[in-house]
Chains A and B, each alone.
Chain A
């Protein structure tokens, strides 16, 4: 497809993650273990936006039951390998994606020490024994490949992301505007000084950008208050009064904007706590030639903030919002912010190049686009570190989760989480259920409850958990297409974040309760 046509096909999503996100997505290879309904729905949502490659690993044949859940299968598919059929039909959704089918048992594959997992960017695993998930999660953890474990039962959905670490520059915050009203730099001060409010004709007066107004009045305030900014709520109210008293007419939008922005000066320009934590992360202590660009950039950023000329501040984003001002003044102000931001990028690049030299890397090895993006977004960087399944899936992990739940309200989805954990253990114990397509019945209720009690002893059992058991039994542990489709949407959304390296990902568990229509997330 010619590039312009490709852009048109993906136009509506390029507006969410831009060309960089799309390129990252197209360079990805996603594996699905078990072509379950949830798994296929999830893959559909990755193939449509254009994931580069996918591999479906499954050794079962299409059964008549599958047709009710999985729209990809039809009467003719019955008896054929699910992996082959799913791969073919999913592949038809997007000609620009390459699909592979692996007719192999996922559990066997997980135990195959020679299998090469490294080619996958993300692995999805559904409807499989818990012991296999644990095993695979450790293999992938060591390779830093994210694993998504997802399944549905009845009206419930479960999703767990097992990912060692992801570092995100472009988190898409609500706004990148950084006015620095409390820390104006010389060019901004000079520009502010160039206005003589008293002598301006009313029309010009009405077009003085509010940033200038605030800076002017801050000056006025400071000279009356020993050089201090309006700090308390009370002082800010007085400061508003000061602005209000000065306005020459009632219908001055720029004064309204100034008043509406007074709260901004209460926010001191400093390094936000989570960014400070990133700057002090041990990851930057022992950088070498192989270190990820992100941590190299962070180290340069740290040096930037430590440089005396920067007064402990981060690079300026240079982003302004629209304000009441005539074109001239607006463009002038915009230029002042942009130039300051460019100067910061320039100095940052110098520091970065020094660092790259120390690491024996060529100075051009991080592109200027990456540097600009990093500087622009440096107040909103994100480092998300996940947790391994082993601790969560141990008896101790379960008991501490139980204790957490003890503080929850009656219908808290956390009880659903506990119940699903027990259900999952039950299935592992009674593996023949999944093997024979056998359904859970009311006779299994006692065993589920006993299993639960045996884990939480000596604590008392919880009715809310038992309610979930009866709901699971009611549905005969069957899956519903709707819930599969919903979880396929949620799961694909999270994977898209991981593959495009944009937006803040889920960390690390989500439970969907389709009965109440609620979801809840936790870090477990």
Chain B
């Protein structure tokens, strides 16, 4: 069949050839990923790499059409490749069942080998990571996401456009620890307690307690209270040893729903303005639950009664115990089960425990269905939205391949706007306060095992005219500043400055004009071949290039690098060389932008105009 495909006719032969010769990366083979992979394959991209750490779950099958029931628990990346390869045998596909953040597999040179990267991810952390890698590797990124009927596609192209981090993103909500542990007032407090405290302490001690924040507690909570909390926690930890006992349900129940509540009740001041909780008793409840069937677990729309919750509490605990027993391996005493919203044993336990707690605190209970949404941060998802968004991703990629970045758009799918459905806005220039876009970049190659922090510091000062106020941050942790020079004699690898990591160099000292350097972000390559103690260590620190680091007015800078010591990446992002985020809610901002862009779009030109290859044939 010799007929030219409609694609090459309409796109022009040069773009069609570019597509055929392009190697692209797709991160995430979930909802958008399945649609996107199909589109990329049928569009004829020459080589497609697929990375996803996830495995197929039953709850994916309502939209992720490359998978079926026989694929459950198998690697999404591998199955997606296998299924989609059949759509177009001419496309080479490479799949990795791996974490995109694994720098041993995916280093900066690997990222550089792609013409375009497509993000089809479902979490903030991985999105930010790929965004940063693409910025460092200078590879265009097409970022996409969906929530229910809404979706968006953003084209990110190095320093020409905004990056993913240029606009502040909503971070997960954090609750004061005392609200969660002592004075819950909403169902969400009880769910967080059941999932991140009770379940985590009993079954999964790897779970971070990041949803609590002790510093947020107010004056009401004195040290006495915090001590009590610690005691309660230790008691619960010791119950973990009895988790396999036949009376574990009774022990746990009486501990958290009786003893702890009684202790809370004894603190009179706490209940002056609050409704007092009611302690429960295992044996009394046990009596009243005769005849209630465990089948109630299948009714996920009903708000279970206390008695029903009690039955599910015992039943799910029993199921979890059985799993622990079955898995028990003498060599591994740290048997854990992680909470998973789609794992009914863990979900039932959390639903029952959070609702029992709600009843104790006179809070309105929730059905299993609703509790699941709260506990699992579930984002509704359907095939239609993914299909629409994936289609837009590919169309935007054409503009990138043609170097028509001015014609690329930030597209929002907003089905509630009945007259438009889609809104396309022009790409904005980078935010000068963005910690990812507005930095200078380079790469260091060195033997990270022998180079000491002192050498590295010296090399930086020599090459870049840094002052003594230089400050180094490696993956969110402060490794050096003028008041923190403990590490000077240690090899940089020991400080986390290892292959595939980023090192941020900050020097906020103002010059005579009140200006200071913007940050320098260095990508670290470990190279054992260069540098030995004899040849002079400093000279064996090689920069890929020495960028000229621009200076800018430091008027509005927050001087709160100190937060970095906490090691919390979110805070780092917010601190170094960055104005406090504006209080304008994002919604208002985007609606303003929408109005602007309507006008702008009218001045646009047809993007495909410049390919005048009209081929006529009969």
Contact = CB atoms under 8 A, between A and B. Distances in A.
B363 A12 contact: no
A32 interface: no
B391 A486 contact: yes
A19 B301 contact: yes
A4 B344 contact: yes
B606 A520 contact: no
Interface of B: 1, 3, 5-7, 9-10, 35, 38-39, 41-43, 58-59, 61-63, 65, 68-69, 86-87, 148-149, 185-186, 272-275, 297-298, 300-301, 342, 344, 361-364, 369, 372-373, 378-388, 390-392, 394-396, 409, 411, 415, 418-422, 424, 601-602, 604, 606-608, 614, 616-618
B602 A409 contact: yes
A49 B421 contact: no
B606 A467 contact: yes
11 contacts: A4-B344, A7-B369, A8-B342, A48-B61, A68-B5, A331-B362, A474-B608, A482-B39, A489-B386, A493-B388, A517-B422
B587 to A, nearest CB: 11
Given A482-B395, A517-B392, 14 more contacts: A12-B59, A44-B383, A48-B65, A64-B1, A71-B87, A93-B65, A441-B618, A478-B5, A479-B6, A489-B385, A496-B382, A503-B149, A515-B608, A519-B421
B7 A480 contact: yes
Contacts of B391: 482-483, 485-486, 489
Nearest to B31: A12
Nearest to A15: B380
Contact of A12 (B273, B378, B384): B378
A69 interface: yes
A12 B380 CA distance: 5
A3 B3 CA distance: 51
A185 to B, nearest CB: 22
B123 to A, nearest CB: 15
Contact of B274 (A326, A516, A519): A326
Contacts of B386: 489
Given A155-B10, A482-B43, A493-B384, A326 B65 contact: no
Nearest to B391: A486
A13 B382 contact: yes
Contact of A322 (B6, B86, B186): B186
A148 B247 CA distance: 61
B600 to A, nearest CB: 11
Among A328, A441, A471, A515, the most chain B Cβ lie within 10 Å of the Cβ of: A515
Contacts of B607: 515-516
Contacts, number: 217
Contacts of A327: 185, 274-275, 361-363
A12 B382 CA distance: 7
Contacts of B385: 489, 493
Contacts of B394: 482
Contacts of B186: 322
A10 interface: yes
A251 B442 CA distance: 47
Given A327-B274, A517-B424, A45 B384 contact: yes
B608 A69 contact: no
Given A204-B273, A516-B601, A486 B387 contact: yes
A518 B384 CA distance: 18
A519 B413 CA distance: 10
A480 B6 contact: yes
A257 to B, nearest CB: 15
A475 B378 CA distance: 42
A7 B301 CA distance: 11
A410 interface: yes
A44 B390 CA distance: 15
Interface in A314-347: 322, 326-328, 330-331, 334
Nearest to A206: B273
B165 to A, nearest CB: 24
Contacts of A506: 418
B383 A45 contact: yes
B340 to A, nearest CB: 12
A493 B148 CA distance: 11
B6 A492 contact: no
Nearest to B86: A74
Contacts of B61: 9, 48, 94
B415 A493 contact: yes
| Smallest CB-CB A-B distances: 4 pairs | A478-B6, A489-B387, A486-B391, A489-B388
A521 B9 contact: no
A376 interface: no
Interface in A40-56: 41, 44-45, 48-50
A476 B421 CA distance: 28
A15 B147 CA distance: 11
Contacts of B86: 74
A115 to B, nearest CB: 29
A482 B389 CA distance: 10
B419 A481 contact: no
B59 to A, nearest CB: 5
B344 A478 contact: no
Contacts of A197: none
Contacts of B63: 12-13, 48-49
B272 to A, nearest CB: 7
A39 to B, nearest CB: 13
A7 B87 CA distance: 31
A362 interface: no
Contact of A481 (B42, B185, B424): B42
Interface string A435-466: 00001011100000000000000000000000
A68 B42 contact: yes
Contact of B6 (A331, A475, A510): A475
A510 B422 CA distance: 11
Nearest to B153: A517
B10 A410 contact: no
A441 B6 CA distance: 12
Pick the most buried of A16, A327, A475, A496: most chain B CB atoms within 10 A of its CB. Answer: A327
B382 A328 contact: no
A411 interface: yes
A122 to B, nearest CB: 14
- Most chain B beta-carbon contacts within 10 A, residue among A94, A154, A471, A485: A485
Contact of B382 (A49, A326, A482): A49
Contacts of B58: 5, 8-9
Interface string A478-514: 1111110110111011001000000110100010101
Contacts of A486: 387-388, 391-392
Interface string A203-234: 11001000000000000000000000000000
Nearest to B3: A65
B62 A474 contact: no
Contacts of B344: 4, 8
B9 A476 contact: yes
Given A12-B382, A520-B420, A485 B390 contact: yes
Contacts of B608: 155, 471, 474, 515
A490 B378 contact: no
A48 B62 contact: yes
Contacts of B39: 481-482, 485
Contacts of B7: 480
Given A492-B384, A515-B608, A11 B149 contact: no
A443 B618 CA distance: 10
Contacts of B372: 11
A92 interface: yes
Contacts of A16: 148-149, 380, 382
Contacts of B421: 490, 510, 519, 521
A489 B384 contact: yes
A278 interface: no
A416 to B, nearest CB: 11
A404 to B, nearest CB: 14
Given A15-B380, A467-B606, A515-B607, A41 B387 contact: yes
Q: Which of B362, B383, B386 has the most CB of A within 10 A?
A: B383
